[in-house]
């Protein structure tokens, strides 16, 4: 499921339009319009985070891949010998991983 389809579904569930999404998420209305009109090829990670946070979903959920797997985060961190990761850093690694998967999916 594409990002715009997922966003449309989430907006429908909440009974909101693009303008209300922009106001509620803190993403400029022009960015929301461009996302729907031109696609998500160049969407910023910070924009994805705002949208995911607004709807209370993970980046993975927003991208339509289901729930994120926290175990993957710990596996990634385990490959960095000698480095200790904070919970915030592990979350950031997971978000970046989800962003990369989203970009890959959009290119298919």
Enumerate the domain spans of the chain: 3-107
pLDDT range class, residue 102, cuts 50, 70, 90: confident
Question: DSSP characters for the chain?
Answer: --HHHHHHHHHHHHT--HHHHHHHHT--HHHHHHHHHH-STT--HHHHHHHHHHHT--HHHHHTS-S--HHHHHHHHHTSTT----HHHHHHHHHHHHHHHHHHHHH-
* Reported CATH class of domain 3-107: mainly alpha
For the segment 1-6, the average pLDDT, to the nearest whole number, is 82
pLDDT tens per residue, range 33-73 = 998 888 777 788 889 999 999 999 988 888 765 544 444 44
Q: Mean pLDDT across the chain, nearest whole number?
A: 77
Q: Which of 12-16, 19-23, 49-53, 104-108 has the lowest mean pLDDT?
A: 104-108
pTM above 0.95, yes or no: no
66 contacts 51 by C-beta, under 8 angstroms: no
């Amino acid at each position: 499921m594409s990002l715009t389809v997922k966003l449309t579904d989430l907006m429908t569930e909440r009974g909101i339009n693009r303008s209300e999404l922009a106001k509620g998420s803190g993403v400029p209305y022009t960015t929301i319009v461009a996302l729907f009109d031109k696609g998500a090829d160049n969407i910023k990670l910070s924009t994805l985070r705002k949208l995911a946070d607004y709807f209370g979903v993970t980046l993975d959920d927003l991208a339509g891949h289901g729930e994120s797997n926290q175990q993957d985060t710990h596996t990634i961190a385990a490959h960095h010998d000698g480095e200790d990761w904070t919970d915030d850093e592990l979350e950031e690694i997971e978000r970046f991983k989800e962003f990369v998967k989203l970009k890959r999916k959009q290119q298919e």
